[in-house]
């Protein structure tokens, strides 16, 4: 698993908190978080507690000013470590909530579900294998959402109301 150090202020200043595990609420340890160093692994950071809100994938490296670099309006509030995955990737995407409507099974990246699968949108999915990123626009652009293995019956209920996911990518980095 990875290791990350969070800092209260920009440029790695102020108090810090180090972790190698998921953290649903960073304010338990720091009053705010504006910079971080990912010493190993990959992680998803969120601008709201409990893995909600805008999110961004961080790979090994230094992030001196989270807000300007990520285009976020707030500081990092929670993080989720992404474990290495070896093996196949499988995900079923559904046009409607609760696994309704048209269904397609993916084993690799999909840069545009509308062109590739004739689906107008994706509102639920079942991730059977691997870790995935879903993007609101074709060609892996716009807001993203991290998905690990499990059932996702409604993206709206997960706080992604009004978001239409149009492309999906496997997280294949050796984090």
What's the gap between Cα 54 and its chain centre? 9
Please compute, for residue 131, the number of CA atoms within 13 A of its CA located in the half-sphere on the CB side. Answer: 18
pLDDT at site 143: 86
Q: DSSP string of 59-79?
A: -SEEES-HHHHHT-SS---EE
pLDDT at site 9: 93
Q: What is the pLDDT of residues 107-165, one digit of tens each?
A: 999 999 999 999 988 999 999 999 999 999 999 998 889 999 999 999 888 777 667 79
CA-based R_g, the chain, Å: 16
Query: Whole-model pTM above 0.95?
Result: no
**Full set of structural domains in the chain with CATH:** 3-82 (2.60.20.10), 90-170 (2.60.20.10)
Q: How many DSSP H helices and E strands does the chain contain?
A: 2, 14
DSSP state for residue 151 in the 8-state scheme? E
C-alpha dihedral, 143 to 149 to 151 to 153, nearest 10°: 0
């Amino acid at each position: 698993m990875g290791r990350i150090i969070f800092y209260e202020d920009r440029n790695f200043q102020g108090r810090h908190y180090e972790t190698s595990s998921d953290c649903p609420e960073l304010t338990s340890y720091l009053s705010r978080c504006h910079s971080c160093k990912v010493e190993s692994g990959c992680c998803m950071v969120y601008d709201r507690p409990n893995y909600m809100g805008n999110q961004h994938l961080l790979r090994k490296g230094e992030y001196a000013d989270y807000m300007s670099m990520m285009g976020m309006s707030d500081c990092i509030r929670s993080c989720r470590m992404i474990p290495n995955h070896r093996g196949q990737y499988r995900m079923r995407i559904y046009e409607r909530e609760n696994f309704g409507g048209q269904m397609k099974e993916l084993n690799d990246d999909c840069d545009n579900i509308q062109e590739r699968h004739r689906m107008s949108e994706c509102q639920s999915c079942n991730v059977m294998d691997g870790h995935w990123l879903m993007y609101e626009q074709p060609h892996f652009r716009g807001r993203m959402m991290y998905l690990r293995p499990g059932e996702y019956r409604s993206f709206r209920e997960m706080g992604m109301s009004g978001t239409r996911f149009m492309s999906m990518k496997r997280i294949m980095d050796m984090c």
